[in-house]
Amino acid sequence: MTDSPATGGNPVVDMRGITVEFSGVKALADVDFRLFPGEVHALMGENGAGKSTLIKALTGVHRPTAGTILLKDEPVEFTAPGQARNAGISTVYQEVNLCPNLSVAENILLGHEPRRLGAIDGRAMRARATELMARIGLSIDPASVLSSHSIAVQQLVAITRALVVDASVLVLDEPTSSLDSDEVEELFRIVRVLRDEGVAILFVSHFLDQVYEIADRMTVLRNGSLVGEYLPQNLDRMALVSAMLGREAGLLDEVERRSEERTPQSAPVLVAQGLGRAGAIEPFDLEIHEGEVVGLAGLLGSGRTELARLLSGADRPDTGLLMVDGETIRSRGPRSLIARGVAFCSEDRKAEGVVEDLSVRDNLILATQAARGWARPVARRTAEAMVAEYIERLDIRPADPDAVMGNLSGGNQQKVLLARWLVTRPRLLILDEPTRGIDVGAKAQIQKVVAELAAEGMAVLFISAELEEVVRVSDRVVVLRDRHKVAELSGAEISVDSVMTAIAADAHSSTAVAS
Amino acid sequence: MSTPTLASARLRLPQRFLPVVATLVVFVATFGIGSVRYQDFASGQVVANLFIDNAFLIVLAVGMTFVILTGGIDLSVGAVAALSTMIAAATLEAGWPPLLSILAVLVVGTGLGLLMGLVIHHFDVQPFIVTLAGMFLARGLCFLISVESVSITDASFRTFATGTLELPGGVTLTYSVLVALAVVAAALYVLHLTRFGRTVYAVGGSESSARLMGLATARAKVGVYAVSGFCSALGGLLFALYMLSGYGLHAVGMELDVIAAVVIGGTLLAGGVGYVAGSMAGVLVLGTVQALISFEGTLSSWWTKIVIGALLLAFIVLQRLIVRQRH
Amino acid sequence: MIRGRLLWPLVALAGLIVLNVVFTPSFLELRIQDGHLYGSLVDILRNGAPTLLIAVGMTLVIATRGIDLSVGAVAAIAGAIGCTWIADGGDAPTAVLLALSVCVLLGLWNGFLVSVLGIQPIIATLVLMTAGRGGAMLLTEGQIVTISDPTYRQIGAGFLILPIAILISLAVLLAVALLTRRTALGMLIEAVGVNPEASKLAGVRSRTITWTVYVFAALCAGVAGLMISSNVSAADANNAGLWIEMDAILAVVIGGTSLAGGRYSLAGTLVGALVIQTLTTTVYTIGVPTNITLLFKAVVVITVCLLQSPRVARAVSGRRKSPTPAPRSRKVAAG
């Protein structure tokens, strides 16, 4: 029935009827999940579907309230991550969970370090680390400090750590979200090597392309319940998205149509001439007009965020000129640009966006209040009106202005942040990865709002790692490569292919960006 | 791009040693100033005296280094040291054999540290507050034992206190110095060659990662306070040997000197980076400053505080510049 | 939430007062003499005024995720300047002005280290804590400077029915409460405390706000220092305001403001300061040697902090069965 390597064998992990409750609320209800040796099994679902909870139930971070977990046909009950690991279940998380201040060898082997006469044997440890890294083709100095390496390499070190114990199960929880496509290819090569060695791999990703490229089997969760287990060849993308959403994905089509109707307006809101910052982005020219959505495409590290930070005043340029409405800006931080109607929604929601302990209301009016200064508070009634309007318009849940921001899901936090800037009525809205790490529904909603805003005359700079998304929403696409602006596409020129060609020109062959 | 892991991710190896190197440079420089200005300054005995006068401080600084490496802080060290002098003096006065008395001191100090560690860890109260309460508790206990200063008259204790070692070149050392050096050596072993020690560094680097790596973070986080408690007790004993008395007002404000020494010694207060040897060098820098000021004679003792403050500032700014450079 | 947090400190305060009444039945009595209000409660207010004042400044500092260890040293410096100026023949108003100006400068210094150089507050203010007392001793040349100036004496020992000192502290508390809660200042301070980077990107002048709270804290410390020195008509560089930073921090923490920054409660700080001062007085009235106050302080701090800790709060508010034991217990198992 399938070409999955697992067919016929016994699952290495068999989770049955798993239920996890948090203070009475079910995060997972009666979910079955199995994992066969030698397969890559993708776990799919929107945010809040229960993917992380299922993984944590497997690795012993959460204890299920009901259900059984069989590991190699033996029932197990882990109470600590260390136990799961010793039983052969290793996990690599989205954000590298290693210690940046320790050496590579220590990060790989701590907890299993070779000892001599009770003391850690440094030499043996480095030798063993080198040996393990060689297994996945990684050759870096084991004595070097972890933080001296790129995130991609750190990710590989984390995988190496997973190999220390004879891992029969490797959990990869969104390992690709901060890697560029070359790095993803490298990761997938290693995943295939391990799979062929018989390791069962549980893979979580938001990127559908990657899932179809690597997965042998998929399990879809929705709202804490199991939707089904599928083979990729039997489930096309539309069907997968429908399964994840539990509804037809009509919203996306609507956005697609909108962008074609739009025509660029005349007056440039923002003009950058030769703007640049050493080590961040080479000098570039850019104009953004009223009512226009300019997409910014490029691989990770191509300078997308750096460009946005220069335009928004978050970083100071070394060279060039920045003008808003024809007026030259001498930036002293974000305030001067905010005052001229340039709003910047950072990609790092947690660190640079949400104020967790404050209410949704306070978060929403923060930028407005900051612009007014502390002495002129936003009147309570005005604030309530603003909050009510945007809770409805963006469908923020829970629809409670007093809810503590930190308790909202990622997608809803992102909507509040978007609203924070919308209430300031900006002339130019810079959105850096507004849809990253949030579920498909919220994503479509944000894309739709962007289109509406442009129609109302707002200029938008839209940054995303997902080319499809950039192509869909943008009137013009600026392509960056290796910190240079390399192309500007508009109108009919815009397509995923043309953007990819621009990204891939010279430097890479077309296969490098195939994912 | 800037997840917490990344924010701290641009550490380079050579820079990690820079604060320690700077500490050594300052030590050599201050000592150099002394030797140029005063004839007798550059003698072996002055160096030996640095160790003799600061042996207890070295021991306290070792304990503090453990705590700060995990990103915590221990404000109780001075008070626990004072309590140790008090317990030693009181038990000896009551006729306990010295060894039993020493044991009691070490048990109480370690126990207090352990208790603070447990509260910090299991109840999630900030180390600052818990150790502040520990400081009040230890000082209060001192006065509960006696409001007055209690002198130590035990013969063997006194012999140990006044006993000296003759080194080649006519330099003499006290046994306290040997104890302090032994503590430093033991700390080096524990921090660099045992799993506990590496876990201490790991917790300072990223506690959540260390936990997910399956390391015994709880043991490390609680353990460092026990270590610090033990070092405070031992340092207190050395202080009792130095002063030959127990008193609730001994070592007032010493926690600040200790923290200053550790920071000057190049340990990052955020945790994860630092060396015991650096802390020892930090103590020696403070000792040299004190020696310089007393050699000068015309300068009042409060200049010591001002100079320590200035040194502290210089090293903090240096640390800050290093961190800035990474960004 | 804050209200719930105030429960235990209030219980502690009430308990202390009851204890006092048991030991000294006249504890609650107040009498008016020469237009002054006298009584144990008034004494508590008067003696607690400097701590309260410093705690108000500290509350704002802590709300921005900071801490100011130097307030005791700053108080000592203020007292030293005030008294030496008067001892050298200066008049009281100039002395006050001079002392407070210097305190503003010291606050600017702390704020500069924290907000511009980005140094950890605990360590940035440790510099001034260490060097500050040295500076105060330099001013007084290591002596206790005594003065007799009736005007100056009013600050710490004067009465306007109630002691002037407590009136000053309460006025500052009230002014700060109105200023931060009626305007957006409080919300912006909390935003800076919870997430400085996000606040900056949202256009909040985080640097200015942080800087300002340190200046304000130093100013409060300065006034408190004047109160202390004026109360005894002397400047003791070594002992004036010794450990007051710890008392002030305790007051803030007991009042339910987290040292991690963010939401703050000035009402809580008031209760916290009263708890600390009542405790000190209680120990004194029940005849325990004053030094042992420290022991009681330790007990109160630990109790209040434990009661506020999320773990205990959970246990107290009905043992809800949780499928997920908090991470820590698991680590023990892992070890």
Domain-by-domain residue ranges, chain A? 13-248, 251-341+427-513, 353-425
- A231-261: b (≥16 Cβ within 10 Å) or e: ebeebeeeebbbbbbeeeeebbeebeebbee
What local confidence, expressed as pLDDT, does residue A254 receive?
46
Is A83 an interface residue toward C (CB < 8 Å)? yes
What local confidence, expressed as pLDDT, does residue B198 receive?
94
Is A96 an interface residue toward B (CB < 8 Å)? yes
A29: tokens are 């209800």
Contacts of C262 in chain A (CB under 8 A): 357-358
Tens digit of each residue's pLDDT (9 = 90 or more) over B18-72: 778 888 888 888 888 888 888 878 888 888 999 999 999 999 999 999 999 999 9
Section B124-142 average pLDDT: 89
Residue C323 and residue A20: Cβ atoms within 8 Å?
A: yes
**Sign of the CA dihedral C62, C68, C69, C71?**
negative
What local confidence, expressed as pLDDT, does residue A247 receive?
55
What does the alpha-carbon distance between residue B195 and residue A111 come to, in Å, rounded to a whole number?
7
Residue A376 and residue C188: Cβ atoms within 8 Å?
A: no
The CATH H-level (homologous superfamily) assignment of domain A13-248 is P-loop containing nucleotide triphosphate hydrolases (3.40.50.300)
CB-closest option in C204, C323, C334 to A63:
C323
ipTM of this complex prediction, to 2 decimal places: 0.83
Name the C residues in 65-84 with CB < 8 Å from any B CB.
67
In-domain check, residue B2: no
Confidence of residue A512 (pLDDT cuts 50, 70, 90): very low
In-domain check, residue B23: yes
Is B9 an interface residue toward A (CB < 8 Å)? yes
Name the B residues in 289-318 with CB < 8 Å from any C CB.
300, 302-306, 308-310, 312-313, 316-317
Higher confidence at residue B326 or residue C102?
Answer: C102
Section A340-345 average pLDDT: 93
Residue C131 and residue B308: Cβ atoms within 8 Å?
A: yes
Is B107 an interface residue toward C (CB < 8 Å)? no
What does the alpha-carbon distance between residue B322 and residue C22 come to, in Å, rounded to a whole number?
59
Residue B206 and residue A351: Cβ atoms within 8 Å?
A: no
Q: The CATH number of the domain where B190 resides is what?
A: 1.10.3470
* A251-341+427-513 matches A13-248 in CATH topology: yes
What local confidence, expressed as pLDDT, does residue C184 receive?
92
Q: How many domains does chain B have?
A: 1
Residue of A112, A310, A363, A374 best to disrupt the C interface, most CBs of C under 10 A: A374
Tens digit of each residue's pLDDT (9 = 90 or more) over B273-302: 899 999 999 999 999 988 888 887 777 778
**Residue A460 belongs to what H/E stretch?**
strand A459-463
Is A306 an interface residue toward B (CB < 8 Å)? no
Tens digit of each residue's pLDDT (9 = 90 or more) over B190-216: 999 999 999 999 999 988 888 888 888
Inter-chain contacts counted by CB atoms under 8 A, chains A and C? 112
Confidence of residue C319 (pLDDT cuts 50, 70, 90): very low
Which range has the top average pLDDT, A111-120, B248-257, C30-39, C84-93?
A: C84-93
Confidence of residue C332 (pLDDT cuts 50, 70, 90): very low
Tens digit of each residue's pLDDT (9 = 90 or more) over C44-79: 999 999 999 999 999 999 999 999 999 999 999 999
Is A305 an interface residue toward B (CB < 8 Å)? yes
Domain-by-domain residue ranges, chain C? 2-317
Query: Model pTM?
Result: 0.81
Is A141 an interface residue toward B (CB < 8 Å)? no
Contacts by residues C302-308 (CB-CB < 8 Å, ≥ 24 positions apart)? C302/B119, C302/B130, C302/B133, C302/B137, C303/C12, C304/C8, C304/C9, C304/C12, C304/C253, C304/C254, C304/C275, C305/B123, C305/B125, C305/B129, C305/B130, C305/B133, C305/C253, C306/B119, C306/B123, C306/B125, C307/C8, C308/C5, C308/C8, C308/C256
Is A62 an interface residue toward C (CB < 8 Å)? yes
Topology of domain A251-341+427-513, CATH: Rossmann fold (3.40.50)
In CATH, what class is C2-317?
mainly alpha
Contacts of B2 in chain A (CB under 8 A): 348, 351-352
What local confidence, expressed as pLDDT, does residue B327 receive?
46
State percent of chain C over pLDDT 70: 91
Confidence of residue B100 (pLDDT cuts 50, 70, 90): very high
Contacts of A82 in chain C (CB under 8 A): 334
What does the alpha-carbon distance between residue A505 and residue A499 come to, in Å, rounded to a whole number?
10
Residue B13 and residue A300: Cβ atoms within 8 Å?
A: no
Residue C334 and residue A375: Cβ atoms within 8 Å?
A: no
Using the predicted structure, report yes or no on whether residue C125 has a pLDDT greater than 80. yes
> Counting Cβ atoms within 10 Å, is residue B118 exposed (0-12), middle (13-18) or buried (19+)?
middle
* Residue B214: closest C-alpha in chain C: C334
Section C179-199 average pLDDT: 93
Of A6-15, A243-252, A307-316, least confident by mean pLDDT is A243-252
What local confidence, expressed as pLDDT, does residue A329 receive?
86
Tens digit of each residue's pLDDT (9 = 90 or more) over A233-292: 888 877 787 787 665 444 444 445 444 445 555 678 999 999 998 878 889 999 999 889
What local confidence, expressed as pLDDT, does residue A482 receive?
76
Higher confidence at residue C289 or residue C80?
Answer: C80
Higher confidence at residue C265 or residue C292?
Answer: C265
Of A119-128, A178-187, B14-23, B57-66, least confident by mean pLDDT is B14-23
A490: left (phi over 0), alpha (psi -120 to 50) or beta: beta
In-domain check, residue B102: yes
Contacts of B10 in chain A (CB under 8 A): 147-148
Contacts of B134 in chain C (CB under 8 A): 298
Contacts of C191 in chain A (CB under 8 A): 355, 358, 362, 366
Contacts of A180 in chain B (CB under 8 A): none
In-domain check, residue B6: no
Is C133 an interface residue toward B (CB < 8 Å)? yes
In-domain check, residue B281: yes
Tens digit of each residue's pLDDT (9 = 90 or more) over B305-320: 888 889 888 888 887 7
Contacts of B208 in chain A (CB under 8 A): 97
Peptide bond preceding C150 in cis form (omega within 30 of 0)? no
Count of CB atoms situated within 10 Å of the CB of A175: 26
Section B115-123 average pLDDT: 93
What local confidence, expressed as pLDDT, does residue A246 receive?
66
What local confidence, expressed as pLDDT, does residue A16 receive?
92
Residue A111 and residue B213: Cβ atoms within 8 Å?
A: yes
Is B126 an interface residue toward C (CB < 8 Å)? yes
Is C287 an interface residue toward A (CB < 8 Å)? no
Structural contact between residues C334 and A86, judged by C-beta atoms closer than 8 angstroms: no
**Containing structural domain, residue B273:** 17-326
Average confidence score pLDDT of chain A: 84
Cα of C279 to nearest chain B Cα, Å: 14
Query: Cα angle at C189 between C185 and C194, to 5 degrees?
Result: 150
Contacts of C263 in chain A (CB under 8 A): 357-358
Among B91, B94, B82, which residue's Cα sits nearest to residue B248?
B82
What single-letter DSSP state applies at residue C112? I
* Residue A305: closest C-alpha in chain B: B1
What local confidence, expressed as pLDDT, does residue A508 receive?
38
* Residue B270: closest C-alpha in chain A: A101
What local confidence, expressed as pLDDT, does residue C254 receive?
87
In-domain check, residue B229: yes
